[in-house]
Structure 1
Amino acid sequence: MDQKWDRKECGKVALDPNSYTLGALGAHNVVLLHLPGMGKGVAASAASSCRISFPGIRLALVVGVCGGVPFGPHNIERILGEVVISDGLVQYDFGRQFPNDFKRKRTLHDSHGRPDSEIRGFLARLGGREARRKILTAARGYLLSLQATEEALGAALYQYPGAAEDVLHQPLSLHKHLQAATCPEWEKTCGTVGACDLARTLDWQQLNCGFSQLVPRQRLNVYSGDISQGPSDSLELHIGTVASGDKIMKSGEERDKVAKEEGVIAFEMEGAGIWDQFPCLIIKGICDYADCHKSKKWQYYAAATAAAQMKAVLDEWD
């Protein structure tokens, strides 16, 4: 924030359980709502209370991290640290579970509406070359400032983890032990189609799994020899439909199935709770590929890129 204000002097009504930070970003007065947990239920409850305390809110930005769909139409490739901005939302886990299949409820009454005309017009402008270039340039500056502030405090949480850490596995590649000697529950879990609890606490390199099932990444090849170097366009943004639900997507196969059926570009957990409460944009950094090999190595950097893009977006919001 460019300025912060005293919470006691600004707006929060009695019995509102939310925690806020109040201030300004550029020309905009901002209410930063600190969610107490994950999931659309938590987000919906918090947003409902926020509307009572701050009825004049024009735009809600849901900012954080998400799981990205690595490939899209027309050879689009998404890499870790890039940012997704929503132009629509699908609540992909709302439906009926049958013995052998899940059917999402798709009626008009069960679906989230499209963004209002002001947001649609704004996103159309973001799709233009000049506005996009301006936002990306500003976001890079904000990210560098955020990184410099952390470094001055003796931390490096928001630094780019390195191209060598951006690893994509084949959708059917499983995250588990490959040998009985290393698995405490081989016959029940890793020796069949499952994975043991120990395997889920280890990264893919510790498990020595998936080396033969890595997906080549064209945009990262040039950087593979130097993990300190990142793509010059690592703050690229992708505008598209976002999948929101209460479950954490950790299956490459299911990820690709939902992406194909629903046309989504990322998975997250809070947007569905806020979408119908306020005019809303979801702005989230890609921290993993929504598969079983996901780790937390990219979460801080992805959160930082999302925050930088959010501030750049607000610069352009009238």
Structure 2
Amino acid sequence: MYWQPLLAAAAVPIGVNAGAMLRFSCSQLVVDRLDPLVNPGTAPSPHLHQIVGGNAFNTTMDSSVNDIPSTASCTSCTPAEDFSNYWTATLFFRARNGTFKALKTKGNPLGFTAANGGQTVYYLGPQGNAKVTAFKPGFRMTVGDPSFRTAEQIKKYPMLSYTCLQTSMTRGGETTHFPKDTCKVGIMVNIRFPTCWDGVNVDSPDHQSHTAYPSGGRCPSTHPVTIPQVFYETIWDTTPFNDKSIWPTDGSQPFVWSFGDPTGYGVHGDYVFGWKGNALQNAMDANAQCNSDLLGNRINCPVGKEQSIQQGNQCNLKNRVKDPLDGWLTELPGGMPVQ
């Protein structure tokens, strides 16, 4: 089972059979200290997240009772029938005096500059005509571990990385740690979820063991069902902090995740499936390069109803946890230590 090279969709050569690929924009829905997977029912959760997708996102999203497509009234994604939620931690700049400034996400310069932040979302299938089974209602998963701080630990998750964008087309030189130099366009965080499922459980106690990465190009016997690879590209606007005279005096990189990680090895992502009906399965069955055009307006495969990026920008939620996020902060939200 060969998975396509993980390049920007706009950079995939025309005519190359790279397998099913659905690519679209999801604008920022909310930045909030909630996590209905890892900390269900807890407000606030320990650290801050940036969330995109449907406005059914809530403190608790119980897979047994929460019918996401019927609960949500809008989505920040351009497929108008995708009410899934996609979220990551948030990024901060740490100044020499120890204060913090929250960074903003920005629309992908390859087609999605009109987006009000958020991220680019991909659903990728294997090369050729291999059957891909879309997620079932109630499906959710996480990838990564916020406690990781070493290069050895992150080897458990080989498909989490950073790209230091020197231009909008930069797609080489990925690292598993924060970039150590300035990035002219920003830092792109790449989160690629596993592609194999046990075929039974839509969740697991750790939100990970019901999924697995392929080994030797094939799904393991314990996880025999091929599912789409959910892939996030989140571009953090680090450009206001490209002046190295404000970086730490020892020259080390100045960025830190909202959960207190200054290394980057703790990068992680969360996903809750919320597509309406068979829209996602139809897109995967088309086995096409389902890219939005460079205006971000059309997706050239069957995904049900679509909306413009501008319409997606209008879908948002009010913060439930009122953390101060403007200006310079004396500590990370929730008092999260940097370590």
The two structures share one fold, judged by TM-score above 0.5? no
Class of the TM-score when normalised by the shorter of the 2 chains: under 0.3
Q: TM-score, normalised by structure 2?
A: 0.23
When Rg is computed on C-alpha atoms for both structures, the one with the higher figure is: 1
Q: Which has the higher helix share?
A: 1
Q: TM-score, normalised by structure 1?
A: 0.24
Higher relative contact order (CA 8 A, sep 6+): 1
